[in-house]
Structure 1
Amino acid sequence: DLIGLRECFLERENGSASNVVDTVAASSSSSQSHIHNAMMLPSVGTSFERFKATFRDRRFGAIHTRTAPRNIDRGEYAQLLYSCCFYLLEESVEHDQKDKFNLPKSIFAIFALYTLHQTNPLPMSPPTRQSTPRTKYGHLQEDALKEAWSVLPISREEQNLHRKSYKSPVRIDRKNYLLLLQLSDVCKAIVAHSDELFRHCGIAQDASYIIDKMIFTDNFFSYCEYHGPCGLEGLAGNPHFYKEHFVKQKRK
């Protein structure tokens, strides 16, 4: 599903970039001031708006709910979606040159990761309670106890007993965090040399903004040894279980 979304977004983005390049070429016979105006950077958010429009048109937000398997921990399922974005980011790096990105595919992975986290419908986890107040006789206060019980991740209907999931930070490993930093540097360099690399300037400046927003937002990332659902690798007894499964599925 993510690959299909990527194809639609890149088609829309390439069409827009081609129009901009044609505009610049058509202006080459005009005065220098017209050329300068034509080559001004797009406003921040233009490319990301195109991504969000593609996300809406494809109704991709339903992946959080309608496509989720039954009887699954929704919080871990969300981590599985984030993990897929990281694998697309890793896939976008040229194999022969580890510091060279396929820029449009890399930036798509970043846009998808940020949007999937922002559209996650799970509620935020309640603040932790240090202790429950007691009466002067040392008994637990009933009202405070009921309040504490109300936020437990268990439904009150015994026939529908289940654990409740909350929205949690994106689990990210060291490798993908370094890829984010490298991609951010690449995007900022493209924007700094906008006169030479004008075709990718708009999407590069949006990617730089999104990466900074993710990195500098408290509790957006949870820094771990591996990304993806917590416990999937432990269940399989292999820290690379999901990655190997991903590669096998890709070869089919």
Structure 2
Amino acid sequence: MKNILTIMNYTLREAVSRKVFLAFFIISTITILGFLFVFSMYPVTQLIPPDVPKDGKPGTPYFVILTGFLMTPIVSISTLGLLLSVFATSGLITSVMERGTVDLFLSKPVSRIQLMSGRIAGSLLMVLINLLYLITGIWLIFSLFTGFYNWYMLTTILWIFYTFMALFGIIVLLGVITKSSVPGMMSAYFIYIIGSPVLMKKESIFEMISAGPVVKGIINGFYYIVPQTDGIMSKVMFPLLMEGKIVSYEPLIQSGILLLVFLGIALFIFEKKEL
């Protein structure tokens, strides 16, 4: 455990030295300041009809209207946070396999499993710290300017982070296999932007193309081996924000299982791989 913590610390320091942390911080700060400017110039509460009771309980008109104002920014924040996280961490996984770096670590009493586990944990911690800063900052601004404290918004930190972890499993696996950050990064982008949203609408696709059993089998196969990132957003995060409840836990369970499988395979390959 001590070795893993040491490598986590090294990973964070490397992220700082590579200016990854700084870039994250600057972009997040600019985003927060942008929200501060918008809410200070355009009071959101003035857009609510005066006859709407100020009831902040989930599902009430007041709650739905104010939370609705947050939806577009939250979608933008989610996308921005995920894209930045994927870009920032892809290189951290593959850089540890570079000749010289890996030799330095393995010359110490550190196993390959500990090395990669510490690298993974350090990368995830870096992303979590930045998401905490970004989302909490925006939540505070919105809450202070509107007087409306939607505590469910803070849970978006968890769901965005969980979505990233689902993609991160693929980044790690492809990074270990190819020793390049590009395949994992591009695969993660494709899944998040195109793959998962399309697969979530598979039933509509079946009807539209009059799919036969073979086509349905192929699409269903991809549905179960691709992280349901779109489902985490549409069935977990957004319903919780708007109504205070989760529609389905399936995306969380399926994506969590895939994460463990991908990381398990990656660690197995890394342990056996010639570097």
Structure number with greater Rg is: 1
TM range (shorter): 0.3 to 0.5
Structure 2 length as normaliser, TM-score?
0.35
Decide which structure has greater helix share. Answer: 2
Structure 1 length as normaliser, TM-score?
0.37
